Chain A
C-alpha cells in the first residue's frame, strides 16, 4: 500500500477542490477486482481489512452505482462506522474509489439534527397529550351530562314520592288534579304561577298507562319549566288525552334550542357536551318517555319560548311487564379466542354455535378466511397480546364483531367493538352480537 494517491485521483481532487482530514483510494479493474490501495486507510479505520475484505466492502457499497456517474455519495457511514464521502473515478479500463474522511462534519450535523428532531418529537408528544386531554374532557363532559340526566329523572321521581301513586285507572281530570297537587308546593316556593288546562272532550280512564308514566311525565316536564321560570312568571301547560296518547304541552321559557340540539331530541341522541339545560331536560324526558314507547317532540319556534310535547301512547306494551326470560342465542355463530372457562357451555346452552380457538397469531389467518360473524376475546393477563391480535385481525380486513370480556376496563387504544364486564351477562352479549339474520 502506498501513501501516495494515484495520479488520476490526485488530479480529480485538485480539479474538484476537495479537502478532508484523511483521504484514501482503492483501485479496481473492470471486473471489480482490487488492484491497488493507497492513502490514509489506517485513519479511516480500513487498514486492518484484507484486500479481499476491502474489495467486498466497496463492491457492496457501490452495488448498482454507475462507475461513470460523477456524483459523490455524501455522508455515507460504512459498516465499520466510518463516516465518509465516496467518489467513483473512471480511468481508462480501471476505476478508483476515493474515500474522504467526513467524521467531523457528520458528527457536527448529527448533534444539530439530533437536537432538532428530539425537539420535534417532544412537540409531537405534547400535541398528542393535548389531543388525549381534549378527548378525556369531552368524555368527562358526556359522563357529566349523563349524570345530570339521571339527576333530573331522579329528582322528578322524588317529587312523586311525596305522594302516594294514583290508583289506576286514572281519568284525565283526576290526573290533572294530581299533577297540580304534586307541583303546587314548588310553585308556591318559587313564586311561579302554574296554569294547567285539560284539552279534549274525552275523560275516558287511562287504563293502559302505568301510574308512574301517567303522572311522572307531566310532572317532569312542567317541573323543569317551573325551575327555569323567574319569580312572578306563569308556566302554562296542557294535558290532552286523544285517542291513543296522553299529550303534555308545556311552554318553557328557557333559551331556544339550536338546530343541532333539536335534531338530537328528534333523533333520540344524547345532546353534545355543554348543551343547554333545556336540551338535557328534553333528552332526559325523552329517554323516560321512550321506556314507555312514547316520545318528546319539539315544534319549530322562532322565539326563545319552546313548546314541548311529551306523549305517552295508550298501548298495551306500555304496561307489559317483562319477567326474567331465558336469553336465547339461537342462530348465533361465535368464535371464542383464548380461555373460555365455561363460557362455551353457557353459550351452547343458550343455542349458539360455538368454536374455540387459541389466543395466538396463527388464528388470524383462520379467522380472516372463515370470517365468523362474531369473535369473543378474553384479554385477561395476555392483554397486550389480545390487543395486538385484534389489531391484526382488523388490519387484515376481518369485519365481524369483536367483543372483549374482562374484569377490568381496558386501558389505551383498543380495536374491539364492545367491551363487556366479567362475569358474562348473556343479555348484554346478545345486544352486542349482530342479529342472526345479518350473519352469513
Chain B
C-alpha cells in the first residue's frame, strides 16, 4: 500500500463548527464549548479508501466571512476544500460560498464539498432545504453534526475520493 498525503483546508465563518468537525473526524471527540481558532490549526488522519491508505493533513483555518492575505497563504498547495456552514445561521451559507469563490480565485478549481453543520439542532435551522438543493447543483452537500458524528465521515471520504 502506497501512502498518499493530501492537504485539505477547512473554510467557513466563525463558530460554524470547523474545529469540532475536525476533532470528531480525527479523535471521535466533541465538546460543545466554543473555543475560537487563531490562525490555522493542523491535524492529520490516516484513512483507507478502496484499499489505499491516504493521510489527510487538515488545515483548520480560523473562521471569517472573507479571507485576508495571511489566510489566503494557508491555502497554498491545498488539494481540496471543505466548506462549513452552520444550519442555524443562514448567513454562514453565503459566507461559505463566498469563501469558496475567493479560494478558487487564489488556488484554482480544487475539489470541494459543503458541510451544513449542526444538523442535530434541526429545530433551530434557518438554512432551508431549497437553498441546499440549489447548492447541490454545483457542489456536494452533506448535512452534518460534529455533536453526533452524522455525515462527518461521509463528507471527508467523499472529498478524499475526489482528491486521490
Contacts and interface: CB of A to CB of B under 8 A. Distances in A.
A296 to B, nearest CB: 36
Contacts of B119: 388, 391
B38 interface: yes
B38 A60 contact: no
Nearest to B89: A124
Contact of B129 (A77, A79, A106, A394): A394
A413 B143 contact: no
A394 B57 CA distance: 34
Interface stretch (A63-71, A155-163, A351-359, A423-431): A63-71
Contact of B42 (A59, A79, A117, A388): A79
A339 to B, nearest CB: 20
B35 A114 contact: yes
A303 interface: no
Interface in B1-49: 5, 7, 14-15, 34-44
B73 A391 contact: no
A75 B70 contact: yes
Q: Which of B120, B129, B136: most chain A CB closer than 10 A?
A: B129
B133 interface: yes
B123 A387 contact: yes
A83 B129 contact: no
Interface in B80-108: 89
Contacts of B39: 74-77, 83, 106
Interface size bracket, A side: 35 or more
A178 interface: no
Interface string A391-412: 1111111000000000000011
Interface residues of B, number: 41
B38 A109 contact: yes
Contact of B38 (A65, A77, A79, A415): A77
Interface in A270-316: none
A69 B126 CA distance: 42
Contacts of A78: 42
Contact of B36 (A114, A384, A391): A114
Contacts of B14: 117, 120
Contacts of A128: 126
A124 B36 CA distance: 17
A396 B133 contact: yes
Interface string A75-109: 11111000100000000000000000000001001
A79 B5 contact: no
A330 interface: no
A113 B5 contact: no
Contact of B74 (A73, A113, A396, A415): A73
Interface in B102-128: 119-120, 122-126, 128
A113 B38 contact: yes
Contact of B133 (A388, A394, A411): A394
Nearest to A412: B123
5 contacts: A75-B62, A76-B40, A77-B39, A394-B129, A396-B133
What 6 pairs across the A-B complex have the smallest Cβ distances? Answer: A64-B77, A75-B39, A412-B123, A394-B129, A395-B129, A395-B132
Interface of A: 59-61, 63-66, 69, 71, 73-79, 83, 106, 109-110, 113-114, 117-118, 120-121, 124, 128, 384, 387-388, 391-397, 411-413, 415
Given A65-B76, A74-B39, 16 more contacts: A60-B42, A66-B76, A73-B73, A75-B39, A83-B39, A106-B38, A114-B35, A117-B15, A117-B36, A128-B126, A387-B122, A391-B122, A392-B129, A395-B136, A413-B123, A413-B124
Interface of B: 5, 7, 14-15, 34-44, 55, 57, 62, 70, 73-74, 76-79, 89, 119-120, 122-126, 128-130, 132-133, 136, 141, 143
